[in-house]
Amino acid sequence: MKQQALPNLKKYALLPATLITILIILTSCGGSSVSINNKDKPIYFKPYNVQVGSFQNVNSAVNLQLKLNNLNVDAYYFKGKSGKYHVMFGNFFTKFQATKYARKYKKDGLYNNFTIVTPIYNPGETLSTGTKNRARRDITASAGSYIGTPYLWGGTNSSAGFDCSGLTYTVYAQNGFKLPRVAAEQFKQGNFVPRDRLREGDLVFFATSGGKKASHVGIYVGNNNFIHAPSSGKNVQTTSMDNPYFKKIYLGARSYI
């Protein structure tokens, strides 16, 4: 059966597609550098997704991810709590749409079984303190699982590599949150967090291009450290907030939880 590219799934998303468009402009994180806007923005949550595969070998998950990517499906793999690797794709507004496309690719022979993953949080839901704390721990753990992945400008493909905002985008998506794609837009969407009140799961932003524009982002993981995709030729790694270079160009932090 001839494979057909998946239609533009982002029209079913909770966020306008323009917020996640990758703007091909020269910055350190793939995307535009937009002037800082400190106004608080609403929190958005990722809608329905499709999870497929359960692999012991990471290469099997990578191969499935690449097959979906080749069909213009925004898929990524991740390591589950059981230690097995899974692949997820989607960003559907309704369960019906998620099921429709899950069945299509199953019929095309890409996988045998699938699971519809319902939103972890409902849009506009007021989260309890316990739920927020769990989300922060999960985001931190997810970020740690990608340490060692190579940097790739403009990348959200965990098998090939991440750029800085590609890493934060994927880690948050894995845990039920829908962020804009580029660092500058992520900075504009979050709620301001003072430097001395950082909590795990917050995003920290830097002006690697100079001035007052957010062009680099990482995930704060506690103990004065953040995880990020630094630059071309380097892997995802943990860095201290007191690193002289990053301390000098630090812009601020944002929370989405």
- Tokens standing for 231? 């630059």
Catalytic residue among 143, 216, 217, 218: 216
Give backbone dihedrals phi and psi of 161, rounded to 5 degrees, phi first.
150, 170
Residues in CB range of 247: below 8 A, 6 or more apart: 241
User: How far from chain centre, in Å, is Cα 86?
Assistant: 16
Report the run of H or E that residue 251 belongs to, with start and end: strand 250-255
86 a catalytic residue: no
Alpha carbon separation from 236 to 149, 157, 170 (Å, rounded): 5, 13, 13
Q: Which of 19, 73, 152, 164 is catalytic?
A: 164
Side chain identity at 89, as an amino acid letter?
F
Alpha carbons 158 and 55: distance in angstroms, whole number: 16
**102 backbone dihedrals φ, ψ, rounded to 5°:** -60, -45
Q: Which residues contact 26 (CB under 8 A, 6 or more apart)?
A: none
Using an 8 Å Cβ cutoff, are 247 and 204 in contact?
no
Among the listed residues 67, 181, 213, 228, the single catalytic one is 228
- Per the listing, tokens 């468009």 go with 21
Rounded to whole angstroms, the Cα distance separating 39 from 41 reads 6
State how far the Cα of 129 lies from the Cα of 110, in Å rounded to an integer.
40
Question: What are the catalytic residues?
Answer: 164, 216, 228
